[in-house]
């Protein structure tokens, strides 16, 4: 079945890079997503990547996709305190449905 796995916690020092990893199972996924959820807030679409791409860069965010291994990563350069949040990896499956991972809680150390 469809499943998205990601580690639950990540601690990073302010100014360092954060790398959040994710694996998915549906090889027919056309789009893969990263959403951000700050405490008490809804989900913010951070970025997405089409399945025929290897990399996408958007300012401090870099998404890497290894379709062969079904591995997706999100790199946040120069991590700031405002980046503290839960980051959800998600895959787009049929009929516009999205399957979410459990989320990675990113904690920023001073």
Residues that bind another protein (CB under 8 A): 30-31, 33, 35, 41-45, 48, 50, 88, 92, 95-98, 100-103
CB atoms within 10 A of CB 26: 17
Nearer to another protein, 69 or 95 (CB): 95
CB of 6 or CB of 73, closer to another protein: 6
Nearer to another protein, 13 or 102 (CB): 102
Pairwise CA distance, residues 13 & 5, whole Å: 24
Query: Which residue shows structure tokens 């807030």?
Result: 41
* Nearest approach, Cβ of residue 30 and another protein (Å): 7
Cβ at position 35, least distance to another protein in Å: 8
Quickly tell me which residue has 């946040």 as its tokens. 76
Task: Give the shortest CB-99-to-another protein separation in angstroms.
Answer: 8
DSSP classification of residue 28: T
How many C-beta atoms lie closer than 10 Å to residue 83's C-beta? 18
What does residue 41 show for φ and ψ, rounded to 5 degrees? -115, 170
Nearer to another protein, 44 or 66 (CB): 44
The alpha carbon torsion through 97, 102, 84, 20 (nearest 10 deg) reads -90
Smallest separation, CB 14 to another protein (Å): 25
């Amino acid at each position: 079945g469809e499943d998205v796995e990601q580690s639950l916690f990540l601690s990073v020092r302010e100014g360092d890079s954060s790398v959040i990893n994710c694996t998915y199972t549906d090889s027919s996924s056309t789009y893969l997503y990263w959403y951000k959820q700050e405490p008490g807030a809804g989900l913010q679409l951070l970025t997405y990547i089409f399945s025929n791409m290897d990399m996408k860069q958007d300012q401090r965010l870099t998404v890497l996709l290894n379709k062969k291994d079904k591995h997706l990563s999100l790199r946040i350069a120069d991590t700031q305190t405002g980046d503290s949040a839960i980051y959800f990896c998600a895959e787009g499956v049929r009929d516009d449905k999205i399957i979410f991972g459990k989320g990675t809680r990113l904690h920023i150390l001073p």
